[in-house]
Structure 1
Amino acid sequence: MLKLIKKSSSKIGIDGAIAYTVLSRIIQAGGGVITLLFVARCLTKVEQGYYYTFGSILAIQIFFELGLSGIITQFVAHENANLTWNDQTSFVGSSESSSRLASLLRFTVKWFAVLSVLLIFGLLIAGYVFFNKYGKENVAVNWQIPWIILSLTTSLSLMISPILAFFEGLDRVKEVAKIRLVQQVMQLVLVLLMFFLGFKLFSVPVAAIISFLVFPIWIFFGNKKKILIFIWNKLDKWGVNYRLEIFPYQWKIALSWISGYFIFQLFNPVLFATEGAIVAGQMGMTLAVLNAIFSLAFSWMSTKVPVFSGLIAQKEYDKLDNLFNTTLIQSTLLNLLALTTLFGIVFILRHFEVKIGGKNFADRFLPNLPMLFMMIPILLNHVVASWATYMRCHKKEPMLIPSVVIGILCSVSTLTLGNYFGVLGLTLGYMILTVIGFIWTYFIFRTKKKEWHNG
């Protein structure tokens, strides 16, 4: 029976790393549905608006992290391809690669420690200014202390993110996925418990700060600490020059990520400011499910980054393309199936006015047409993100101009159409721009792939 399961899993592209990551995403998606029920039952529509707008403002951490975690994984994977591990805590191989790994580790730990301190102050100020300006009429909502706790947890998570990225680059994707799964389950259980006990907006902050402790315990009370110390002490005359090697790549990634913020995270704050907390809550709940679907399907692709990077370092382009194409087909079909199922469920709930806990659950989502306008981009963005991942594993960033242009256009579209035509205009404009970005990215992908591999 076990052999049959393994054989079937292999056919659809599920290895150990994907299994844990997908299980985490399934728990996240399934738990997300349960959480949606708790949000609808335990929070008012106004509190729901705060709940989801919190997440959009917390996403300003993009301006501090600037895509560096993903770059770390790729750089580490390229160096790790030249090393042979003796056991779980030591390796032999190229002295240059060993030294460069040590250099990378030292740089990222110091750099992210500074960024984390800056981030907490940035979040506290941004949240205070925004919610005080646009939420004055909601005097009954206690958002201040939950916001402080969330800001602290987000900053701590930023501090630990380069370590997790480092281990993924060392081809420990399965282990990292496993510990993320443990953290995910723990946070979900705590969130539901907090909601049940009536903690309201305090539920997620309290659960987040407690479940965060899983990561430092995993690092400092296992052999991961020994690995980090071993690599830390491998520093020799070779090092990674941030200014010459990472920055020329990172600034392009950073602009792409910043553009992504203006594409994906402006919806809730704009709707909160223009149409109120209730509509922002509908957008937030819709996006929560759609992002869970995107994350679940993209797990097939994201867990392959170290493998892609290693094949590129060894110039095994045929193997690279075979693996990428298979993974893209599998993950895209999963994305499409999940989106179709979601739309069908919400449509039925809305059509028959199904009530849960005495409340019309479907009303917590966007209306059918705006929701469809948000679902189509989720499918297209999955393919775009896959193409971008493939290209970035070459330690290049050809997506800079499209990301910036689409980001600017999407910001203008969201601010203008959202202001004049409400949620319908906002979502329609987003869908049209996503189609344009999809076509643009396809031509870049084809051109760069031929250029790099033939060269």
Structure 2
Amino acid sequence: MTNKRFFLEHKAALYSIISLFLRVFTGPLSIFFITTKLTLDNQAVYYTFISIAAIQWVFELGISTSLVQVIAGSTENNKKRAYIKFACLFYSGVIIPLFLCMFLYANWTFDNINNGSWFYPWLLYSLFVSLNVSVNVFYIIEEGDLNINKVYKIRLITGGIYSFSLLLALFLGFGLYSLCISQIFMYISSIYFFRKKIRYVFCDIWKEKSEPILYSVKSILRFQIKISLVWIFGYLYWNFYSIYFYKYVSVDFSALFGASNAVVSSIAIAMTSWTQTKRSIFSKMISNNRYHESWLAFRKTIIFASIGYISLALLFVLIVNYIPVSYSERFFSANIMTSLILMRFIILYHELILIYLRAFQDEPLYKETLLNYIVTPIFVIIAALFISDFYIFWVSFIIQLLFLYLYIKNGYLFFKSKSKSKSKSKSNVYR
């Protein structure tokens, strides 16, 4: 295979790798500016901003995941147009409720700050977070049509613009306003890249006949209810730490967690992004009954993600040990950092398994996932109250290991049942 052919066949994955290196480079750099340009209190507020804004996933309800799978697996244009219309209605309607919810949530979280220094930065930040959520509809359309290269090229460029504008704003001393500045630049660049698709959707799609929108909603309802529950409780699971630490442990501990978790999570997210580039391909393979082929493709992503995560996490630990104390003291100590890295590594495996199984247009492990999302925060609170801050992430690590066993076992049983049912239906056809 020539280099040119390899590049053409793996463009999306290569864009994802470039995004990975961009994240690895800009992540620590942004943290450097955060820890040097902001006070420890504002560092805590900065990362709490991000955790509050993540409630967008509750409002998003995993709709994007469901729609990408069903659009990619659909061969009828009438159905595709119905799904697109539903996506447009949903994302247009979610902007105002999301903005209002984030505003009230922030008021409750920051009620201990008397000077109101957080208010205007948060107002702008939450507004453009809400607007950027609405842009997801165009990513869904492109990825559902298997334009994966275009999707990840745009994600790469807009992500680069976001990172550069964030770094520049932090460097110039805009403080908490830096987050809203980066969201504004990302929104403007996204609108620019999707300008033709916007005209196509609102000028052409709505004029063309399609299957009734209500029918398209009903066809994905079973899958959507499961994934929505996972998304709603997932907010508690993913962002519980920052909010709980800020409100009930200490502002300083919250600041240290924010900086440490930002690096570790950015590495893990970069690894899941690699798998995300393959999800519509998995869906297409599975819809064509190429189960074994889809499994082999997924196994390769697991190997890459594991090697990438371990390598970059070790590099991060090494860097923290050799940087000046004035910078390194803004992160967790080595012992707590180790438990955080190991915990996030196990969670990475959870995420990869769920991404692959969703390609079957189902959420087979939603019960296990919901239980995990409820049990983990409870045990973390117990550890924080009655044991020690040192053991918080070790407790979570042990819980995640137990759930990983359930994910692997039940995920394998689901895969086996699906492949068997398809092979039986094939044999009946031949008879």
* TM-score, structure 1 normalization: 0.87
For residue 451 of structure 1, the aligned residue among 410, 417, 427 is 417
Three-state SS of the structure 2 residue aligned to 1:241 is: helix
**Residues 1:227 and 1:63: Cα distance change in structure 2 (over 3 Å):** closer
**Deviation by residue 1:280-307 (Cα, 9 ceiling, x = unmatched):** 1110111111111112112221100110
The CA RMSD over aligned residues, in Å, is 2.1
Paired residue type of 2:16: T
Q: Which residue of 1 aligns with 2:209?
A: 235
Q: Which residue of 2 aligns with 1:56?
A: 51
* Structural mapping, 1:421-432, within 5 Å: 421-432=387-398
**Deviation by residue 1:128-162 (Cα, 9 ceiling, x = unmatched):** 12101x434xx4x7111111111101110111112
**Kept after mapping to 1: 8 A contact 2:79/2:216:** no
- Shift in Å at residue 421 of structure 1? 3.5
Q: Which residue of 1 aligns with 2:152?
A: 177
For residue 139 of structure 2, the aligned residue among 149, 164, 169 is 164
Paired residue type of 1:41: T
Q: Which residue of 1 aligns with 2:363?
A: 397
Three-state SS of the structure 2 residue aligned to 1:398 is: coil
For residue 312 of structure 1, the aligned residue among 286, 308, 315 is 286
**Kept after mapping to 1: 8 A contact 2:58/2:232:** yes
Paired residue type of 2:224: Q
**Kept after mapping to 2: 8 A contact 1:259/1:408:** yes
**Deviation by residue 1:362-387 (Cα, 9 ceiling, x = unmatched):** 11111112211111122222222121
**Deviation by residue 1:69-110 (Cα, 9 ceiling, x = unmatched):** 11111111011xx3xxxxxxxxxxxxxx10111111111111
Paired residue type of 2:246: F
Q: Which residue of 1 aligns with 2:180?
A: 205
* Structural mapping, 1:16-415, within 5 Å: 16-79=11-74, 82=75, 97-132=76-111, 134-136=112-114, 139=115, 142-220=117-195, 222=196, 225-226=199-200, 229-237=203-211, 241-346=215-320, 348-349=321-322, 354-355=323-324, 360-415=326-381
CA distance in 2, matches of 1:233, 1:306: 27
**Residues 1:200 and 1:188: Cα distance change in structure 2 (over 3 Å):** same
CA distance in 2, matches of 1:432, 1:66: 28
- Shift in Å at residue 117 of structure 1? 1.2
**Kept after mapping to 2: 8 A contact 1:46/1:278:** yes
CA distance in 2, matches of 1:377, 1:428: 7
CA distance in 1, matches of 2:150, 2:198: 10
**Kept after mapping to 2: 8 A contact 1:414/1:426:** yes
CA distance in 2, matches of 1:426, 1:261: 19
Q: Which residue of 2 aligns with 1:91?
A: none
Paired residue type of 1:437: F
CA distance in 2, matches of 1:181, 1:243: 31
Gaps in structure 2 of 5+ consecutive residues = 422-431
CA distance in 2, matches of 1:164, 1:116: 17
Of 392-401 and 375-384, more deviation after overlay is shown by 375-384
CA distance in 2, matches of 1:297, 1:107: 30
Paired residue type of 1:180: R
- Shift in Å at residue 228 of structure 1? 6.7
**Kept after mapping to 2: 8 A contact 1:191/1:207:** yes
**Deviation by residue 1:391-429 (Cα, 9 ceiling, x = unmatched):** 111011112111111111112122222233453232122
**Deviation by residue 1:238-273 (Cα, 9 ceiling, x = unmatched):** 666255322211111111122322222111111111
Paired residue type of 1:56: S
- Shift in Å at residue 68 of structure 1? 0.6
CA distance in 2, matches of 1:226, 1:5: 31
**Residues 1:323 and 1:296: Cα distance change in structure 2 (over 3 Å):** same
Three-state SS of the structure 1 residue aligned to 2:176 is: helix
CA distance in 2, matches of 1:4, 1:174: 17
Paired residue type of 1:200: G
CA distance in 2, matches of 1:99, 1:242: 10
Paired residue type of 2:46: Y
- Shift in Å at residue 225 of structure 1? 3.4
**Deviation by residue 1:147-201 (Cα, 9 ceiling, x = unmatched):** 1111101110111112212211111121121112221222222222212222111
- Shift in Å at residue 430 of structure 1? 1.3
Three-state SS of the structure 2 residue aligned to 1:265 is: helix
Instruction: Kindly tell me the number of residue pairs found equivalent between the two proteins.
Output: 421
Three-state SS of the structure 1 residue aligned to 2:363 is: coil
**Residues 1:4 and 1:232: Cα distance change in structure 2 (over 3 Å):** same
- Shift in Å at residue 231 of structure 1? 4.2
CA distance in 1, matches of 2:26, 2:388: 30
Three-state SS of the structure 2 residue aligned to 1:212 is: helix
CA distance in 2, matches of 1:318, 1:63: 34
**Residues 1:421 and 1:5: Cα distance change in structure 2 (over 3 Å):** farther
CA distance in 2, matches of 1:57, 1:414: 19
* TM-score, structure 2 normalization: 0.92
Q: Which residue of 1 aligns with 2:426?
A: none
CA distance in 2, matches of 1:129, 1:45: 21
CA distance in 2, matches of 1:185, 1:413: 38
**Deviation by residue 1:312-364 (Cα, 9 ceiling, x = unmatched):** 11111122122111222122221222222222322x23xxxx42xxx621111
- Shift in Å at residue 227 of structure 1? 6.5
**Kept after mapping to 2: 8 A contact 1:101/1:231:** no
CA distance in 1, matches of 2:42, 2:219: 46
**Residues 1:239 and 1:206: Cα distance change in structure 2 (over 3 Å):** closer
**Kept after mapping to 1: 8 A contact 2:43/2:255:** yes
